[in-house]
Amino acid sequence: MILITLFRMIGCKLEGSSHLRKKRLKSLLLPCALFKVRVGALVLSLLLVGGCSTLGPDVESPEVAWLDSWESDLNQQLGYTSTQAQLDLEFWWRSFDDSILNELIELAEAGNPNLRIAGLRIIESRAVLGIALSQRYPQVQQVSGSSSYVDQRFEGGDDQNFRQYQSGGNFGWEGDFWGRFQRGIESADAAFFASVANQRDLQVLLHTQMATSYYAYRTSELRIQIAQANAKIQKRSFEITEHLFKSGQDSELDLQQAKTQYLATLSSIPDLETTAQQTLNALCLLLGRAPGDLPEMGDPLEALPEVDPRVLADAPAMLLMRRPDVRSAAWQIAAQSPQVGIAEAQLYPSISLFGSIGFAGNSLSGNRDTWTLGIGPSFTWNVFDHGSIRNNIRIQDLRLQQAIESFQNVVLQAAQEIDNAAISVTNTRAKQVPLGQSVIAAKRSLELANTNYREGYADFQRVLDGQRSVASQTEAELINAGQQITALISLYGALGGGWSETSVEDLIPESTRASMEARSDWGELLREPLPASPESIETNVEK
């Protein structure tokens, strides 16, 4: 009621915003004396009463219309029921029962530069939130002072020299009548939790990249082993045909075919070694190390593990909404929504309580020092903005809608990743059994071809065909096993698995924190525990 009375007194009503400029102009044409008396009295009352309104839309959790009807039904697709054992997605890589992988992931969590940068951004957003919270208190708190020596010389008179000095203080406290400062706090609060979600999303990405690169390296090493074994067999065949040719018992055709197959297999090994080394370099990068060997890798020639694609019994839609990138997109909406209210607050006057105290004097005899004290309300109002405020409101609202659309797109991409990964896991599992059987059949075929060739019932071409078949099918089985592991890793990542609550001590290494504290005064910002992320995107700042 006080705000409405104020606007009526100065000729501007709250309703009818389309005629706001005309009403502002009308307020300026009121008699000056009456204007000052009314505004002065009411502004002081308002400062004592406190804020009354918060402009702009309130933060709301975004909705996805199709989630209720979307059914990926991963458990059924993967051949599992809800009664089977559940796997904790937080540490999904432990299901591979690989101590080397577990160690590498721990090292990556401690040494990955991108993860440390994400931790620093959490601290940065925490400091930004501190700036927003400081706006609740007097915004102007300044102390000033000066001292100077004055030497005055007068023509035909006595010269004078003296010192003059002054000191004083100013303070100003703008009332948050339109909720501008509160909206700023809400925006900074949401941005802080968005930075936390981004760090968790990077955890998910780091763990999936580490596991994928690790098993890609293991697969490359095993492929090299298979190629070397095949080359050894083919070299033996080449030597036999060469001996038979030189003794006149075999044709040159058999010799050249055996030589071609042996050299082709031999030439494939350098490419596989290149791939293996490049994958190893990628692992070094994830660990925050320079390219080179990894002593922790151990023996890479062990067989790849058999995967067990268990998933949580929760509905995929529920898992989707828990993904850190989806949470981050939701927090981006929460951070942008208050910006609309901040922009709308520029339409109305800023009402403040200002005060000052001062002391001035000089060293001249007979002069008296002076003290001044002043206090009173003031206001500023952007009356003629030529549409800039209105357009800024539109810009902020457009950015809010863009954040909403971006959230919807992130959810759609998440659903696509889950379905794609589930399909890949299912099909690679279905492919692995016949591939294993084909390897057995190819090896048996090669045995028969060798026997028939030695006994003279088949030519050497059957042996070469058998060798090629064994080599190709063995490699195909290995590649599919690697793809099955990669698909399962992608599924865990698509479900948002692989992140955990991180303490403030784990965000930044102790050595880095010590270096930062040596440069600047951080107070408790680098060590105070982080607040828990709320389930809703609505901010938890005290209103």
- Which parts of the chain sit beneath pLDDT 50? 1-51, 82-86, 539-543
Measured between alpha carbons, how far is 343 from 387 in angstroms, rounded to an integer?
A: 12
pLDDT at 85: 41
Query: Does residue 9 sit in the same domain as residue 106?
Result: no
Measured between alpha carbons, how far is 290 from 283 in angstroms, rounded to an integer?
A: 10
Measured between alpha carbons, how far is 370 from 120 in angstroms, rounded to an integer?
A: 51
In the block, tokens 């525990």 appear at 529
Whether 173 maps to a domain, the answer reads no
pLDDT at 269: 94
Q: Which helix (H) or strand (E) holds 491?
A: helix 460-494
Query: Does residue 420 sit in the same domain as residue 322?
Result: yes
pLDDT at 371: 84
Task: Name the residue range of residue 29's domain.
Answer: 1-49
Query: Does residue 10 sit in the same domain as residue 125?
Result: no
Whether 540 maps to a domain, the answer reads no
Other Cβ atoms within 10 Å of 34 Cβ, number: 11
DSSP 54-77: --SPPP-----TTTTT----HHHH
Query: Does residue 133 sit in the same domain as residue 1?
Result: no
User: Which amino acid does the sequence have at 325?
Assistant: D
pLDDT at 9: 36
Whether 75 maps to a domain, the answer reads no
pLDDT at 157: 66
Whether 210 maps to a domain, the answer reads yes
User: Which amino acid does the sequence have at 44?
Assistant: L
Whether 169 maps to a domain, the answer reads no
Query: Does residue 336 sit in the same domain as residue 405?
Result: yes
Query: Does residue 43 sit in the same domain as residue 128?
Result: no
Ordered alpha helix ranges (H), 148-290: 180-246, 252-287
pLDDT at 316: 62
Measured between alpha carbons, how far is 23 from 11 in angstroms, rounded to an integer?
A: 6
For residue 382 the two structure tokens come to: 């952007």
Whether 6 maps to a domain, the answer reads yes
For residue 439 the two structure tokens come to: 């390897």
What is the distance between the terminal CA atoms of the chain, rounded to a whole angstrom? 21
This prediction's pTM? 0.81
Whether 358 maps to a domain, the answer reads no
- Positive or negative: CA dihedral 292, 295, 300, 306: negative
What CATH number is associated with residue 315? 1.20.1600.10
Measured between alpha carbons, how far is 108 from 99 in angstroms, rounded to an integer?
A: 14
Q: What is the separation of C-alpha 421 from the centre of its chain, rounded to a whole number of angstroms?
A: 21
